[in-house]
A and B are shown apart, each in its own frame.
Chain A
Amino acid sequence: MKNNLIKKLISIVAVSAMTASLLAGCGAEEAAAPVAEPAATEEPAAEEPAPAEAEEPAAETAEGELPRDETLYFAGQQWGTVNSWNVIGVNQNNSMAIAGNASGYRTLMFETLYMYDPLSGKCFPLLADGDYQWNDDQTEMTVKIKDAAKWSDGSDVTGADVVRTFVIGVEIGNNTGATYGAYIDKIEADGKNITIYVAKTDEGKPVNPLFVVDFLTGTPIAQAAWIDTLYERCGGDATAILNDPGEDVVWSGPYKKYFTDDQKVVLERDDNYWGQDASMWGSLPVPKYIAHTIYADNPAGQAALQAGEVDVCQQFISNVQDLWEKDGLPISTYYEEAPYGVCLTMPTAWYNMNLPVLADNAALRKAIAMAVDYDSIIANAMTNQSPSFSDVPRSLMNPTDGEQALYDHDAVKDLQWAGNDIDGAIALLEEAGIKDSDGDGYREYNGEKISLNAVCPNGWTDWQAAMEIVAAAGEKIGVEITTLYPEWDIYQTVFVDPSQTEYAIFMWSPEAASPSNPWHRVNQFLGSEYVGVENNWSGNWGQYTNEEADKLIKQIPLTTDAAEIKDLYTKLTEIYLTEVPSFSLMYRPSVFHAVNESVWTNFPSADDGRNIPPLDCTDGYGIAALYGLELAE
């Protein structure tokens, strides 16, 4: 009887398991259906058959399969499904094709006039031919476009395209218009030559020439003829133009759209790319396909990198060195040793000046900042992927040599602090009369216990770790600091509100590197331009004001003398380190760059003598890396 039952049981389990696989299979086919359809429509029926010189004939490739040795895989750039290919639109959510800013635009599909290199601070010509030229008073700039530069439809890239890109941007209020409309008065074209007329103040001075240079490296140029087609299609309606999916877009870059769905985006090399001309790269980029699987989160992307399914990973990987030191994986970063990457920005804790206790007490602000154990933040939160504040003393500058040379280190030496200076901080508070008079272990201001919170978005683990260390510093000097981690959607609503009093110490990063930096960043730290602005995504989130700083900040963009610029930046650094309206907690790369060399190799590294910045082989001058990749043995 029992034997019988057990036999029955086994057979039931076996049948159920088979049913499961069957259902799984059934699910698979059904599941494939909805995504297979766009595949057919997305790809415009192979308008360009693979040219004969392609090493591997298309016939050999199974349909729908991306040959591993022709595809460069990315992680950490694309989150969620691609919305559109409309380069003059908004919210494209198309990180591989339309992304970036002046610090390094991603020029795989759409190209800028120049490519920025944060290592040297230089602008390398892309669509442009040679350097840009300023007139004496920086009110006019001239740029020439390369003779070889062509659109994907074979027509020439001309000055008219640049003009149309700017004009439509201002008209419909897209990113280009919103970012540069206030700084450029107009652009005129004569064939391949353009003249940019800088917007002027009432006194006839240029508003800010630095942002005009940003325009050169941060604006993807769109084809005038295509813009006209789009304009007509949308009847000139700004919202319709911004939201158009732009499936028919014309591009000038080395890659074109190939496939997208909810799970990946793939670009295919355009073998007719103009840049193979000797006046530009002299060859095509090596990978035939650029693919980005859409991962749910960082751990998924990192797992894929470790599995060799991702070649270039733009994600913060904690203890990245373990991947090669302990796991023995063929993974590497730009530097072999800490800090592993090139740090261009400084995640910063901002003091909320809407709170009188913070606004009135520079000593309190400085004391907290002095007490924080930055080495511990850098060791724990950043797993040493940042230089310490002893290596690169704090100022308004990022750690690159170019920016570090912009202020007088000796002049501000006494004002700088490397952190964990509890005694110094306590002495400062005592001297300022901020004492614990009721003996509860916490200091008071105007008879009330000082109680602050330290806030950053939930799930941003490295920032959360940093906030914990800030709170611990408060405890050591008798200032109550509690941590608070709201969800991102709430955090971003509160911290851009200029009158908020909910967050006392909160985190955000200033600008990284671009032609307008460090000026732009300094303006974010100290400029009162953004004080009181609703939905303030621009800068000075703590609402700090200082008239002297404003005056100095305004002078810099109009100053051309290097010594004078250095003097101005030094004075601003003095103000910043004395007033402490905010304090940076670490240095950090603007993009992370870890590569798995199991399929591709010869990625940029610090000692290879090529000086290609580690910008994921895609951004700014970092794209040069695509032309030097080699297949691993």
Chain B
Amino acid sequence: MQGYRKYFTKKLVWFLITFVVAVTLNFILPRLMPADPVSAITGKLAAGNSDAKAVQKIYDRYAEEFGTNKPMWQQYLLFVKNLFKGDFGTSFSQYPRKVSNIIASAIWWTVCLQLPAILVGWILGNVLGALAAYLRKGWDKVLLPVSIFLSNVPAFGMAVTLLVLFAIKWKIAPVAGGYAFDQIPNFSWAFIKSVISHYQLPFWSIVIISIGGQAIGMRSMSIYELNADYVKYARFLGVKDRKIVGYVFRNAMLPQVTGLALSIGTMIGGALVAEIIFSYPGLGSTMYAAVTAADYPLISATTLIITIMVLIVTLLLDIIYGFIDPRVKAAQFDA
């Protein structure tokens, strides 16, 4: 048990160090962009205003309000202080909306789009990959090239293809948005149906691509395992195929679980392309808009969410691995 405690403490310390560095980078990186968001706000308000003095006054007022006229270290301290209060500040691009308010209204769309898509893609991909490895021949000959093709289609390419085919050409799916253009959110069947139909294209654009990658990974892992000595030995002993497939599947799964955990960790940013192309509401499009508008507080907040999720997921993985992976287990006890 001693070994475990040491192992976990070490992981936790690294977690905290990474966290502090990540928060600092989250603060600094957006601010290194050679853009002045206060100028953008001023421009929106004052473009074409003939009285230049009045425009300067507007600029000064916002610089003061956002504190961008203060030295960087003061801004950083303020940022950290507010962070502890759960206050991400006020958005520049959607001023005067609070960042937390923007995120709260966007995050559910992303979670509800990404989580099922990641899970379905993962399950389907792994099942198909395992089958390809096991069945080989005809099935593999079809699946492997198809998987390689699918996993190499860029996300935007897949999204645009689906959009053009299903929405524009065949008109069997809606073009954009989270629900129909003639609906107003309510708990009617018509509205729910409209949300489901708007959900399909972004959902499948994510699923189809992830199926390919997962299937390839699972296939090679399974082939590797199928040729392992223990499988040959089990066959030699006359163990039933079903049982062997069970062993192989469990062993081949290990790296796939890591992959799943990481994609859940990064899911907030992962739907960016699908969200943008289908005008789907969510954190991905929010983040994209924030980056193009040099909206520091909003960029920091969204990237911080991703950072924290990835950190938590990797920490959890490390902990779980400590228990389930015999190699890690052995290493800890050796130490």
Contacts and interface: CB of A to CB of B under 8 A. Distances in A.
A259 B179 CA distance: 14
Contacts of B171: 307
A376 B105 CA distance: 46
Interface string A438-473: 000000000000000000000000000000000000
Contact of A178 (B51, B65, B294): B51
Interface in B157-209: 163, 167-168, 171, 175-179, 181-188, 190-192, 195-196, 199-200, 203, 207
Interface in B252-280: 275-279
B45 A65 contact: no
A537 B35 contact: no
A297 B177 CA distance: 11
A84 B241 CA distance: 66
Contacts of A300: 175-176, 279
B49 A263 contact: no
Interface in A478-497: 487-490, 492-494, 496
A548 B116 CA distance: 69
B71 interface: no
B35 A178 contact: no
Interface string A285-328: 00000010111110010011011011000000000000000000
Interface in A399-424: none
Contacts of B46: 175, 178, 537-538
A32 B196 contact: no
Contact of B34 (A67, A179, A297, A490): A490
Nearest to A238: B61
Contacts of A544: none
Interface stretch (A5-13, A270-278, A347-355, A577-585): A5-13
A261 B43 CA distance: 25
Given A32-B191, A178-B57, A73 B181 contact: yes
Interface stretch (B92-100, B220-228, B310-318, B327-335): B92-100
Interface in B7-59: 33-37, 39-59
A27 interface: yes
B147 interface: no
B182 A68 contact: yes
Interface in A190-211: 208, 211
Given A178-B49, A533-B52, A39 B184 contact: yes
A9 B116 contact: no
Contacts, number: 260
A27 B113 CA distance: 7
A211 B135 CA distance: 80
Interface centre among A24, A183, A488 (most CB of B within 10 A): A24
A266 interface: yes
Interface residues of B, number: 89
A273 to B, nearest CB: 22
A306 B148 CA distance: 35
A81 B97 contact: yes
A157 to B, nearest CB: 26
Interface in A60-87: 62-68, 71, 73, 80-81, 83-84
Contact of B175 (A26, A83, A309): A309
Interface stretch (A15-23, A114-122, A227-235, A364-372): A15-23
Given A173-B54, A173-B61, A489-B40, A24 B200 contact: yes
Interface residues of A, number: 94
A535 B39 contact: yes
Given A35-B105, A295-B176, A538-B50, A66 B183 contact: yes
A211 B207 contact: no
A519 to B, nearest CB: 10
Contact of B177 (A28, A30, A263): A263
Given A34-B108, A66-B184, 15 more contacts: A21-B196, A25-B192, A32-B195, A65-B188, A178-B54, A182-B53, A266-B184, A309-B181, A492-B40, A523-B50, A534-B59, A535-B42, A537-B42, A537-B43, A538-B48
7 shortest interchain CB distances as A-B pairs: A64-B186, A23-B116, A27-B112, A489-B35, A296-B279, A28-B195, A178-B54
Interface of B: 33-37, 39-59, 61, 65, 93-97, 102, 104-106, 108-109, 112-113, 115-116, 119-120, 123-124, 127, 131, 134-135, 163, 167-168, 171, 175-179, 181-188, 190-192, 195-196, 199-200, 203, 207, 241, 275-279, 281, 285, 289, 292-294
29 contacts: A9-B127, A12-B127, A16-B123, A16-B124, A19-B123, A20-B116, A24-B200, A31-B113, A31-B199, A32-B192, A34-B104, A39-B184, A64-B183, A64-B184, A65-B188, A73-B181, A178-B58, A179-B51, A182-B53, A261-B185, A262-B178, A263-B179, A291-B182, A295-B176, A487-B35, A489-B37, A511-B48, A523-B50, A537-B48
